[in-house]
Amino acid sequence: MTSIAERPGVTTYQQFIDGQWVDALSGATFTRTSPYDGSVVGVYPNSGIEDADRAIRAARRAFDETSWPTSPAADRARILRRAADLLAERADAFATCIAAEVGKPKTMALGEVMATVDVFQLFAAKALNLKGESFTQQIPDAIGIVAHEPVGVVGIITPWNFPLLLISWKIGPAIAAGCTMVAKPSHYTPGSTLMLAGLLAEAGLPDGVFNVVTSETDNGALVGQHIAASELVDKVAFTGSTASGKAVMRAAANNVKKVSLELGGKSPNIVFPDAALDAAVAGAFFGIYLNSGQVCQAGSRLLVAKPIKDEFVAKLTALSQTLKLGDPFDPATTMGPVINENQLAKIENYLQRGKQEAKLLTGGSRATDPGLEKGLFVKPTIFDEVPAQASIAREEIFGPVLSVLSFENIDDVIRTANDTMYGLAAAVWTKDINVALKVAKGLRAGTVWVNAYHTTGLYNMPYGGYKQSGLGRELGDLGLEEYMETKSIQIKLQ
């Protein structure tokens, strides 16, 4: 286990284009500072439109002029398996980078790395199972073949909260399908993506198949929009806020490219009176505080049946107060800082609104205890008696802030849970299978857990959202289909 004394130094990176490590054409760079103590953790190229064009052209050439798109599936699977093995071997280095840039505890960063290993192994297997369909019995003198082919060049734009895992959800199926890629990670957390570029090259990925450009703030928005709008890009895969996803869609309309979007959420976590109380409390705790609440599918709306609400909330409040905020490289830390000053200010604004809209039970402010004063920490916060129309019950806060509402019956809770523009995830806690299934079927959300939150261990099921939580699905067979085009071949027999 890494100790506090073993904090990493400053790493200087280059962008990765056409198999080469290169600086930005302008020579400009930017830095990332730790959200824990403000120290510089990385220096990166501040790429511009010209750099993005270089990367796009490299990906276009690799798709149009090399054998990569038609390479044997066994070769693509071998690369993904080798990447998984290398990543497992270097898990500590990747986790160190993630912990430094994101601020999440290194133990949790290690979990993210190993989950990424699983993703590459999953899509290595799926690469070997790619197949089409045939139509042979409709008429005697014709045969039909349905073929699935790689979509082409994929623009990948990823966020900062799970910088390695979320890009693997896109890279894995893209490699399995035979696509080429241009990636622009968040400027807050580009390090692990750049490290991954080198690892994929070592695993045997040909030059130009995976390219990475990095850019800061205003440049980053311009570069991301340029990738999304480029006529040389056939698909864009984006994870981020709903507002940014809409901007990506508008840019992608330039050449009617395929779009997949994983966007925001305000997910309901529903607890019925017969639920296993302690398990549900632990699930609510994990659902809102994982990664300091900076999770798209965070269970930020807790809907508890009235008969058990007071007992449930008392247990959850007590458990919340056991979280240890601190240095992500201290093994005792269980919750890190939020990502940046802007996010901290946004959360503080919601905390002030919450104090006017509801009853504050715990937290409610920035944490500035000794050892935390340089960091961007928010105290774990619970608001009770939250009106369904309150801003803290309807808007995505993306921080460790929980809104508690109560309900009386199934119809009441389904109606309240669905009263949102989002539809990413939800959970229901009950021992009654009929109640569980009625609620699960009634909820308009892409993922519904029963007696769990965030995970049941079934990591390969499709992931995505209803309504303004996104378009398309990631993981599973549906996630692979997002990176394929479908061709009907009709053969008239002579």
The catalytically annotated residue of 101, 216, 262, 357 is 262
97 as an active site residue: the answer is: no
Tell me the DSSP string of 249-294.
HHHHTTTT-EEEEE-----EEEE-TTS-HHHHHHHHHHHHHGGGG-
Cβ–Cβ < 8 Å for 83, 200: yes
Give the tokens for residue 467. Answer: 């309504």
User: How many residues in the chain?
Assistant: 494
Give the tokens for residue 384. Answer: 């009770």
3-state DSSP assignment of residue 22: strand
Query: Buried (b) or exposed (e) across 305-343, using 16+ Cβ within 10 A?
Result: beebbeebbebbbebbeebebbbbbbeebbbbbbbbeeb
262 as an active site residue: the answer is: yes
The catalytically annotated residue of 112, 179, 296, 396 is 296
Give dist(CA 135, CA 138) in Å, integer: 7
Helices first, then strands: H and E counts in the chain:
15, 21
Tell me the DSSP string of 338-372.
-S-HHHHHHHHHHHHHHHHHSEEEE--SB---TTT
Torsion of CA 109, 114, 120, 125, to 10 degrees: -160
> Which residues does the annotation mark as catalytic?
262, 296
